[in-house]
Amino acid sequence: MPEKLIVEIMGKHSNIIFCKEDGTIIDSIKHVPAHVSSVREVLPGRDYFIPQTTAKENPLAISEETFRQVIGSAPMPLQKALYNRLTGISPIIAEEICHLAP
């Protein structure tokens, strides 16, 4: 059964987490106990999950139609809509996406 290597790139909160196929954390570069984070623990034996991202869509799991609705309905510039409405997109990445778009 294949394990998963998850890389979270979030500034000072970045981490590399090694999980079993079922999502159980085997180990991580940074251990995050409950007294450090009230949102989630990142410790061996705990279940891995992505923290809730206040009503943001996963850009890897939505259809093109949903993407267009989510971004098109945002009353803001495209770059800002990308990082405000999609999980995992930073302002810098949104700027680069807009720069590279035809």
Query: In whole angstroms, how large is the CA radius of gyration of the chain?
Result: 16
Residue pair 57/69 in contact by the 8 Å Cβ criterion: no
Q: Would 86 be classed as within a structural domain?
A: yes
Q: Which string of DSSP letters, residue by residue, matches 23-54?
A: SBEEEESS-B-TTT-SS--B-TTSBP-PPP-T
Shared domain check, 48 and 75? no
For residue 95, what pLDDT band results from cuts at 50, 70 and 90? very high
* Residue 55: per-residue pLDDT: 79
pLDDT higher than 70, residue 48: yes
Q: Are residues 5 and 39 in the same domain?
A: yes
User: Structurally, how many domains does the chain consist of?
Assistant: 2
| pTM score above 0.75 | no
As a whole number, mean pLDDT of residues 63-77 equals 91
Q: Of 32, 52, 72, at which residue does a domain stop?
A: 52
Q: Are residues 30 and 8 in the same domain?
A: yes
Pairwise CA distance, residues 2 & 26, whole Å: 12
Look at residue 54 and tell me whether its pLDDT is greater than 80.
no
**What range defines the domain where residue 84 resides?**
64-100
| Residues 6 or more apart whose Cβ sits within 8 Å of residue 2 | 21
17-30 residue pLDDT tens: 999 999 999 999 99
Q: Verify that 68 and 96 share a domain, yes or no.
A: yes
